[in-house]
Chains A and B, each alone.
Chain A
């Protein structure tokens, strides 16, 4: 990553991928990321191995994917597909990202719903669930750093947490009320300065 940033001219882009390439590329990303690290893998495959995009184009995509609603990885696939081939590209990239993993998960699901009452399976799952709960707990801490120096952000986050956890406020009304208030507070006061702030 730092290497390509230092010598941007050295990266020679390959020919733009066709629909089949988009499908297989995204399939490879999805399967490589077994157990996490999807965005690192998509960068490795799209930028470094296949050289479809420059690192800068990729990071722009990641910014858009994270900003807009929807799962980041799905949005990233949409970005890559749309970037090269428009709407058909979007569908090819999405199919590559989803079709095989989703079908695998559905097989697992069928087995689960058929057999989860077996004591042996339930015992193993009780352990796996404890680990998964730890993973869920870590999600908030992972992005806490970037807000640490902003007291208003911490106040907003705490308020959101308390409303949801203690007062059982539902997500949709919460976002519809708190979202616009927070946007008003963070409205850029000097658009010229803040316009090209590339926060990751």
Chain B
């Protein structure tokens, strides 16, 4: 009876974790990110909708609000924001304990970086031949608009995932505007909005 209830509950949330051993889970994490690496156009942020799909809807590593939290943490931390993949890996390994979580985190980050880094090394070494190639020009011009479309889709997806109350949405739109019109450090926006959350003005 209780198992029936749990099954019903997981169906409601639309996500049930796969039944895998520790090692099987880790291998799934590594394979997932190795395969995505070469699709990180436009600086890697284009992969965010895919990260959301995999970690929230497909593998159930994270709840939607955990995904939003992790995105915010990765944006606030020093260093490249693509380090969010480490936090996704950590979420994937968390049910198996902090040790596995860390292993999964470092593994995920290496997996997402390895293929694109190797390609970049090759590109650097052969840039003089590549520079004037029509392939290079067509790739740059053709993939640019697609990247633009993806980035807008990412923005909408993150906004949906954040799922805050109307004052929260107003703050999101205001931050977007300020990011475009001023050079204020985004850390200030996060600090102020965090304060608004602490006082209960923004909630979810």
Contact = CB atoms under 8 A, between A and B. Distances in A.
Q: Is the interface of B mostly helix, strand, loop or mixed?
A: helix
A172 B186 contact: no
B151 A182 contact: no
Contacts of A140: 148, 151-152, 154-155
Nearest to B168: A130
A172 B50 contact: yes
Q: Is the interface of A mostly helix, strand, loop or mixed?
A: helix
A199 B106 CA distance: 35
Contact of B164 (A94, A126, A160, A170): A126
A171 B138 contact: no
Interface string A114-143: 001000100111111111111111111111
A65 B173 contact: no
Nearest to B63: A116
Contacts, number: 370
Contact of B77 (A105, A136, A137): A105
Given A35-B187, A108-B77, A70 B113 contact: yes
A94 to B, nearest CB: 7
Contact of B79 (A65, A70, A97): A97
A138 B176 contact: yes
Interface string B124-163: 1101000110111111111111111111111111110110
Contacts of B158: 132-133, 136-137
Given A101-B80, A136-B48, A170-B53, A113 B101 contact: yes
Contacts of B53: 170
A64 B153 contact: no
B149 A128 contact: no
B87 A74 contact: no
Nearest to A178: B146
Given A69-B119, A154-B145, A135 B124 contact: no
Interface residues of B, number: 114
A137 B159 contact: yes
A128 B72 contact: yes
Identify the interface centre among B73, B101, B168, B185: most chain A CB within 10 Å of its CB: B73
Given A73-B80, A74-B80, A133-B68, A123 B198 contact: yes
Given A156-B145, A171-B47, A187-B134, A82 B125 contact: yes
Given A78-B120, A128-B190, A153-B148, A137 B78 contact: no
A9 to B, nearest CB: 23
B27 interface: no
A82 to B, nearest CB: 4
Contacts of B172: 130-131, 133-134, 137
A136 B124 CA distance: 30
A2 interface: no
A83 B124 CA distance: 8
Nearest to A187: B138
B186 A36 contact: yes
Interface in A149-184: 150, 152-154, 156-161, 164-165, 170-172, 174-175, 178-179, 181-184
**9 shortest A-B CB distances, which residue pairs?**
A127-B197, A101-B79, A160-B149, A134-B175, A70-B116, A182-B142, A186-B141, A131-B193, A132-B72
Given A90-B117, A183-B143, 8 more contacts: A36-B185, A66-B43, A73-B82, A105-B83, A113-B91, A135-B175, A154-B145, A172-B39
